[in-house]
Amino acid sequence: MNHFDYRDGDLYAEDLPLSAIADAVGTPVYVYSRATLERHARVFRDALSILPRVHIAFAIKANPNLAVLNVMAREGLGADVVSGGELARALAAGMAAEDIVFSGVGKQHHEMIQGLEAGIGQFNLESEEEGIELAEIAAERGLVANCALRVNPDVDARTHAKISTGKAENKFGVPIDRACTIYSNLAALPGLKMRGVAVHIGSQLSELEPFEEAFAKVGALIAELRAAGQTVTHADLGGGLGVPYKAGDVFPTPEAYAQMVARATEGWDVTLMFEPGRVICGNAGVLLTRVVRVKRSSNQVPFVIVDAAMNDLARPAMYGAWHDFDAVAPTGEKMTAHIVGPICETGDTFAMDRECDALAPGDLAVFRTAGAYGATMASSYNSRGFIAEVMVDGDKWAVVADRIVPEAISAAERVPDFLKD
């Protein structure tokens, strides 16, 4: 469910016609719906309320815009961060330090210091080496870092290979059969308080079984750790619940996910932590774009060339991902087209042979479900700059990220003296 619906033939974001935003700020532009963000945060939270003790940390990587994080903070969500930059954003958005979890396979020395000094709630350690380094940093400062050990359960998430993280060959976590030893070693270090285990097997999961398989392994590990005399008070079950990108696709609901979690974690007696990203913000955003040209060559399928490109929304080029593509003011006519951006490589293709609303030059259209892993994965390739982001709230709206023009990017570059003679 989302708040991008047609009214009298025009696509709206909540109570605002998208054409009004295009007129005011130009295209391409990301548009987020506050009501949709809030709804998803609440639905997820309410679904998990059947579990005894729960902490939800929004995975900031999915959408780190400060306004989006603000909405999350107001809904009582914490943050899952993977860099010093994300940590700073979470704090700036008003998330309490103790509600922040620091994940990530390559935390750097300065980022660990940043997390410690901010007093974040938990570090999810990805290796013994990382734990040893963090222990030293903490002990030097007379601090103690709350930690969970991320395990790699060797489970196939049955998602795209590039976003699968729980197979033995993936770089994430420690092998689950070594986890008890590593946990015990780390628990003996001053500077660390080992308090739990963490797992995240991948993103955009369309089935619950892989989660359940992974959680069963985590449950067995918790029992093993306790039998070995270790304390386990927290279990971070990661994110990963997928969303439909194609109208008509059916995905497990947060309620079904919560019931599976309740089943899988029965008797664990821990605080359960979650790191949802996409399921909260995915369909709370669209990428609004304008048709530049329709190119028809002989008898071939026409190319609808839009002003958005792979640098603005990388998912189709990167993962072959599908995003529904709809006209803002459909005529009722349909066409079959290749939807492409203006960038000079064939990979800059949003869709091939797509049956879509008939479009003509100048028409507005949206790529839907662009609220997660959209703007945040943008680049300035082809010197196109970074596009603006807008948030809508009823009939109000605001630019929540300025367009960064190519000149602003090149202003940070310089020609060295040795090239000037």
Q: With binding defined as CB under 6 A, does residue 373 bind ligand LLP?
A: yes
Output the six-digit token pair for 74. 């107001």
Dihedral Cα 68, 99, 102, 193, nearest 10 deg: 180
Q: Does 64 bind ligand LLP (CB under 6 A)?
A: no
17 is annotated as contributing to ligand binding: no
Instruction: With CB under 6 A as the rule, give the number of residues binding ligand LLP.
Output: 23
Please name every residue paired with 335 in a beta bridge, in sequence order, or none if there are none.
356
- Do the annotations mark residue 319 as ligand-binding? yes
Cβ atoms of 63 and 370 within 8 Å: the answer is no
Q: Which stretch binds ligand LLP (CB under 6 A): 214-222, 227-235, 236-244, 256-264?
A: 236-244
Choose one: 246-254, 255-263, 273-281, 380-388; the region binding ligand LLP (CB under 6 A).
273-281
| Segment interacting with ligand LLP (CB under 6 A) among 55-63, 173-181, 249-257, 285-293 | 55-63
Using CB under 6 A as the binding rule, whether residue 276 contacts ligand LLP is answered as yes
Site for ligand LLP in 204-223 (CB under 6 A): 204
DSSP state, residue 3: S
Residue 297, class by beta-carbon neighbours within 10 Å (0-12 exposed, 13-18 middle, 19+ buried)?
exposed
**Contact at 8 Å (CB) between 257 and 279?**
no
Is 257 one of the annotated binding-site residues? no
Token output for 86 = 């994300």
**In whole angstroms, what is the distance from residue 351 CA to residue 377 CA?**
19
Tally Cβ neighbours within 10 Å of residue 160: 15
Q: Which of 111, 275, 324, 326 binds ligand LLP (CB under 6 A)?
A: 275
Amino acid at 292: V
CA distance 261 to 219: 11
Among 115, 238, 285, 330, binds ligand LLP (CB under 6 A): 238
Which parts are annotated binding residues?
A: 240, 275-278, 315, 319, 345, 373
Catalytic residues, by residue number, are 344
Chain residues binding ligand LLP by CB under 6 A are: 59, 61-62, 80, 103, 163, 165, 200, 203-204, 238-241, 275-279, 315, 319, 372-373
Annotated binding site for pyridoxal 5'-phosphate, which residues?
A: 240, 275-278, 373
